[in-house]
Structure 1
Amino acid sequence: MSLLVLAVALPMTGSASAQAKEARSAGVTRMHLIVEPYQAAFYLLIPEGWRTEGGMRPSGVAWNKLDLVESNIGFRATSPDGQSRFGWYPRFYFVDPAVYVRSSGGILHPALGSVMDGAWVYPAMGVADFARQIVFGRIARQELGRARLVGHFVEVPALRKLAPQVATQVQAGYVDFELEEGGKPMRGRLYTTLFTLGDSGLWSNIGTAAWIAPASRVREDSRLMEYSLRTFRLNPEWVKQATAAEIKRGAEMARVTRDINEADRRWQAERLARSSETQTEFYKVLTGQIETRDPETGKESWLPAYKHAFTDGRGNYAVTDNDSAAAQLQSGSDWRPLRIIDRNAR
């Protein structure tokens, strides 16, 4: 029987504590809410006992122009034994070297991987090449330098919404990969959205996230990590403040950055206008999560895609695929079933 309990960080007394103790003994996995520690910029659910580090912060390299026009991200959650983990990699701007060759009349020939005007010099590429050359080869070289892609790129149309409307070419989706750590086979998945900005030669990545797990337990751990990744939500108040700050800082930059700043300003405004409802739709399409409503209170909640969902009315939730377990949970306890909402039926 597989049972997953999601718990909001509320005090527990009486029967709630007893139920939690009983759940743990039955092999229940609990999830708890994590708020980004530096700016309260985002929040998500992670499995209980997993360690977190990082947040909304600069990418760590002084030349990254994107750090000057908006906040970057570097966040990771790791399982108690340190083997499974997931998180987000920073954004960067890239520029096609052909731009400098043309603009200089053939005098400038910047080397691939060098930095020009705050952007990495690389021609635009697809997600598979981005994973190999940029993530495995540069950003996460120490951790994933020996990773090998498995299968083909899988497009995820919903991820295209992360790109600004001014983007001229967009590719969004994921690639699977494998590697060995200490002689142990590992499996992983990398998501990202790549987009170009007109004929400027500029392009960028956004929403670059990955998970890694031992092959022996990839089915179980990947399910938890996929769910955690997709519970990620930006704090709307932080978005408002960050957008205003980004516009102000962007106004101080010139020349090549002027095009970049304008693209980012429009993207931030569009992201704010879409609000949390559009974000919710994006994550639902991407993950196949379930949306539930408490018939007694009318409260709606998002839960991972299991067959049955329950609440005890005190901020705790339980989900399971097992019909017998669902019947036992409902019978003679404080748990009550939640109605699963089908938006397509509206």
Structure 2
Amino acid sequence: MQNPTKIAGLIEMTPWKDPNEGAFTIDVPKGWEAEGGLVRPYIDAGIKIAVKKEDKGIQIENPYPPIYVTPNWALEMGGFKEGSHYNPSGGLVQDMIVMKEKTAKEYLQTILPNKLKLSLSKIEARPDLVSKVPKMPWTTQTTAAEGRLTGEGKVHKVIVIEQGMKMAETGLWAVILVHYWAKEDEIGLVEEILERMERSFHLDETWAKREQKEMAKRVGIINQTGSEIADLISATFQYQSAVQDRAMRQWSNAMLGVERVYNPKTGQEYEVPSGAEHYWSDGYHIVGTKVSEPPTYLDDWTELLTVE
């Protein structure tokens, strides 16, 4: 007789706590290797979870690096062409890649198979998921797609949600990824495990309140409660009709740290990626540095001041 508390009467789930900041707990299959946790590739909180055993596994990342910055004339003038690495933080966070924004379907067709070293065998746009993803004031585009990939004798299924945004006159875009794999006859079992993981996710309230205060300092969000932040992060795991719909509901506005600065000569305010110690403007574009001297001495740079 099967144990009803176990998946398929075989897989027992056990709690796993974020090892990095204690931000959340989630049930994972007992005996499987679990790694990741809360990560900060771009200052603010992101989630990376991977559970694996033999030829089965689940990977969840929000955001799935890198974040991309769309080409513009200022980047081009600075030598940052399509495909270039761009890091306005001076190396404090991961590089962004200069690339024209792609839809989730285009990302699945042109980028993800190479990153995963797999072959794409099926792809489907999921416009039904787009309406379930809330739009932030700076959101410019939201797209979704799912795909089936193959490699090394295994079936891989993925769901990708892509979202673009415009911040400080700079276009950015990134994706959320859920990826799970197994042999053909076990892929259904892994889907059940993923569903059980989703239902068990729990955010630590103490961490959420602390993060809310830090976010308020960086982004100016002073009216967002800890429970709202919990919704943002746990959205990585939320699906309508569980795995069958696999609908991720939100893109967290805490994925890229920003701060407000202003030009003391003109009074104009800007939002810039946080991480640098000094910000400079030559009237055309903004550069962050870790030293108190301007980026070059050939241009008329004005140091930007923090908005209090």
Same-fold status (TM-score > 0.5): yes
* Residue 228 (str. 1) matches residue 197 (str. 2): yes
Are residues 284 and 121 of structure 1, via their aligned partners in 2, closer, same or farther at CA, if it must alter by over 3 Å?
A: closer
Q: TM-score, normalised by structure 2?
A: 0.62
Query: Corresponding residue for 1:239?
Result: 208
Q: What pairs up with 1:91-106 in 2 under 5 angstroms?
A: 91=63, 92-97=66-71, 99=72, 101=73, 103=74
Out of 77, 85, 94, the residue aligned to residue 115 of structure 1 is 85
Q: Give the partner amino acid of 1:241.
A: R
Query: Corresponding residue for 1:51?
Result: 33
Q: What pairs up with 1:87-236 in 2 under 5 angstroms?
A: 87-89=59-61, 91=63, 92-97=66-71, 99=72, 101=73, 103=74, 107-108=77-78, 110-116=80-86, 117=88, 118-137=95-114, 141=115, 144-155=116-127, 156-157=129-130, 159-161=132-134, 164-171=136-143, 173-181=144-152, 184-197=153-166, 200-205=169-174, 207-236=176-205
Structure 2 distance, partners of 1:213, 1:288, is: 15
- Any conservation in 2 of the 1:86–1:225 contact (CA below 8 Å)? yes
Query: Corresponding residue for 2:238?
Result: 283
Structure 1 distance, partners of 2:137, 2:33, is: 36
Are residues 273 and 228 of structure 1, via their aligned partners in 2, closer, same or farther at CA, if it must alter by over 3 Å?
A: closer
Higher helix share: 1
CA offsets per residue over residues 281-331 of structure 1, 9 Å max, x none? x83635289xxxxxxxxxxxxxxxxxxxxxxxxxxxxxxxxxxxxxxxxxx
Query: Corresponding residue for 2:5?
Result: 5
- Any conservation in 2 of the 1:5–1:28 contact (CA below 8 Å)? no
After TM superposition, the runs of 4+ consecutive aligned structure 1 residues lying more than 6 A away are none
Post-superposition offset of 1:96: 0.9
Q: Give the partner amino acid of 2:146.
A: V
Q: Which 5+ residue runs of structure 1 have no aligned equivalent?
A: 7-23, 60-65, 251-261, 290-346
Identity %: 15
Query: Corresponding residue for 1:42?
Result: 24
Q: Give the partner amino acid of 2:133.
A: R
Post-superposition offset of 1:247: 4.5
Structure 2 distance, partners of 1:2, 1:200, is: 58
Structure 1 distance, partners of 2:203, 2:190, is: 24
Query: Corresponding residue for 1:327?
Result: none
SS class of match (1:169): strand
RMSD: 3.5
- Any conservation in 2 of the 1:159–1:193 contact (CA below 8 Å)? no
